[in-house]
Structure 1
């Protein structure tokens, strides 16, 4: 069974009022992906990296972050996660911004959403904090393709 962990990055949200984290979890569960853990950290590079690496050590198949992907000074998720990814999947961010542009117009240009694989070949996505944006990413990009991406990444490895 595919397992996932969800990291919400926010100065204001907690596990109880984290609508986007809950939404992502529900969509994954509906697609037979077990959500092994869900945490919330503040917009801080060290806090984000620390929790992300703790997730990585627990060996989920997928890690999804949400929040902190814009251009505000407090938006540090991309700066925190990018160094932890060994392979990027540029098409994810490109497609996400293209789809978002059709939904919200030029505001989509400020999104730095990314996807890639980390050192342990776990599939990682960094999504915006907006629940609508998370729905777009989950339904149109992540859920249709994650199984194929994991298969392609792992087919030559020995574990």
Structure 2
């Protein structure tokens, strides 16, 4: 059984942006993006921005950097484009933006995924880190992967990571 982290002093309402990377999804068919938005708002956080972009590294990078410059956005949650197919470019775009990487996020995500999907978990290039004062998480595009990442890793630690990043 996993250890439970110490409790945060109080929950925070953190400004978040959700980016879905897909060549085919629309707002109506973006189940993973909708799931992230619902879990964030149910957790008391604020949805500041939402966008769907095609798997184009320069568009992904430019959007993420613009959101990092927006003081209302403290967390960016990305889904899609983390595999190894030729059009999966999210990891490549995000890895160049991160100033501090959180390798434990990807490691834990793949370990948890392995318990659910077996050895196929090794193909996930889930990644997280920071750019300036913004937390960035990048998950695979499947709703099961999003649910796992949000419930097991991101939501339980979001306030703590935010506080750590903003210590004076």
Same fold (TM over 0.5): yes
Distance 2:67 2:74 in 1: 10
Unaligned runs of 5+ residues in structure 2 are 1-12
User: For residue 92 of structure 1, what is the aligned residue in structure 2?
Assistant: 105
- Kindly state the Cα deviation for residue 57 of structure 1 after the two structures are TM-superposed: 2.0
- Kindly state the Cα deviation for residue 82 of structure 1 after the two structures are TM-superposed: 0.9
User: For residue 132 of structure 1, what is the aligned residue in structure 2?
Assistant: 144
Matched residue count: 155
TM-score w.r.t. length of structure 1: 0.95
User: For residue 9 of structure 1, what is the aligned residue in structure 2?
Assistant: 21
User: Given the alignment, which residue of 74, 77, 88 partners 1:61?
Assistant: 74
Unaligned runs of 5+ residues in structure 1 are none
Q: Which runs of 4+ in 1 moved over 4 A?
A: none
Superposed, which structure 2 residues align to 1:1-159 within 5 Å?
1-59=13-71, 60-119=73-132, 121-156=133-168
Distance 2:26 2:64 in 1: 17
CA RMSD of aligned residues (A): 0.8
